[in-house]
Amino acid sequence: MEWLSFFNQYIQGPRWIGAIAPSSKYLAAKMVKDIAFDRASCIVEYGPGTGVFTEMMLANIQSGTLLILIENNARFCQLLRKKYGHLPNVHIIHNSAVHVDQHIRQYGLNKVDYIVSGLPFASLPTEVSLDILAKSRQYLKQDGKFITFQYTLLKRGLLKQFFENVSMTRVYRNLPPAYVFSCSR
């Protein structure tokens, strides 16, 4: 059912959804591989969609870790609230990642440990991508990481404008295959 819901949302707004199907568990495992769950106090997720990465993070985070989900799609937000709204350390926000600064401050934070992004930078307007990446860098702790995936290498240079260290891993067991970028200062 989630697959069908995801596909329907893609048909209605391919530029903002960016994929025809939810991410695979293999992609999710690679996306969370670089997260030190034992020391993370706050993780922000952009574009959690149906919650594939969220689920993987929840299986690993400590009970005191704050998980902030920022989802721009109302239908996905409803689904996320149904699945995770009862969890005290999970906060689901229906908004654009462009406003991440407001939401981080809303929870009394200055910086976060990790930002995990499911946003389709290849199809987002350039100015939106630039704004999101600039704020992501600004609100990451010095030793924090920005982790994202893309289906092409087109935006690798964009990531390198904001992060000195950008490592890449290819995940073939996903529809379509994807690149995972782990970015840090």
Tokens 């990531």 label which residue?
Answer: 159
In angstroms, the CA 138 to CA 53 distance is: 23
Domain 2-184 falls in which CATH fold?
Rossmann fold (3.40.50)
Helices and strands (H and E) in the chain: how many = 8, 7
pLDDT in tens, 154-174: 999 999 999 999 999 999 999
**More confident site: 107 or 23:** 107
Q: How far is CA 49 from CA 5, 46, 141, in A?
A: 10, 9, 25
Cis ω for the linkage preceding 176 (within 30 of 0): yes
Tell me the domain boundaries of the chain: 2-184
Which is higher by pLDDT, 42 or 18? 42
48/112 Cα distance (integer angstroms): 17
Question: pLDDT tens digit string along 108-154?
Answer: 999 999 999 999 998 899 999 999 999 999 999 999 999 999 999 99
Q: How confident is the model at residue 79 (pLDDT cuts 50, 70, 90)?
A: very high
Q: Is the pLDDT of residue 47 over 80?
A: yes
Q: Would the pTM count as exceeding 0.75?
A: yes
